[in-house]
Amino acid sequence: MLSCQLIMNALERIAPRRLAEDWDNPGLLVGSYAQKVGRVLVALDVDDAVVAEAIERKADLIVAHHPLIFRGLKAVRTDDATGRKIARLIKADVAVFAAHTNLDSAAGGVNDVLAERLGLKSVVPLAESAADGEPGLGRIGSLDAEFSLEDFAVRVKEKLGLSSMRI
């Protein structure tokens, strides 16, 4: 088994914490750096269904895109949705790690993958990150042709395999 720290080190090489926005909360949010990890569950959000699945599948670590905790907690109460999730995770010995805006901004990260899937050309960062001229949030690029908003929405829905989309 690997340690949580070893897995976090690998993830942070892909999406360095320095690329995260100031308001974000990436990193280890529940658990211990020394925790042994044999099974990892990957999720967009740490919602009740993901917590239940992690426990059912005996996962030791959830790697999520969106942090379970965005702002500092003053209490962990089990009559509160977030507190209830944290308590269940701790009881089941499931750690939680998040890579959010750092993964969005990283070279080859979420923004670059979306730009590629949508067929953008000459892609550049929308803004530089505060981390020494590295890419920041967003990408901007060109399409092969002009599209109406409606046609572009259909293209996005198709390219991303979405069943529905709201504009």
Contact, 67 vs 98, CB < 8 A?
Answer: yes
Helix (H) / strand (E) containing 29: strand 27-30
Ramachandran angles phi, psi of 84, nearest 5°: -65, -45
Q: What is the reported pTM?
A: 0.87
How many other CB atoms are there within 10 angstroms of residue 98's CB atom? 28
pLDDT of residue 91: 97
Over residues 108-141, the pLDDT tens digits come to 999 999 999 999 999 988 877 666 677 888 999 9
Over residues 59-112, the pLDDT tens digits come to 999 999 999 998 888 888 999 999 999 999 999 999 999 999 999 999 899 999
Average pLDDT over residues 6-27: 94
How many other CB atoms are there within 10 angstroms of residue 43's CB atom? 19
| C-alpha separations of 14 from 57, 84, 130, 154 in Å | 26, 31, 17, 31
H helices within the chain, ranges in order?
Answer: 4-14, 48-56, 81-91, 101-105, 110-117, 149-159
Confidence class for position 4, pLDDT limits 50, 70, 90: very high
Nearest to 94 by CA among 148, 144, 20, 32: 32
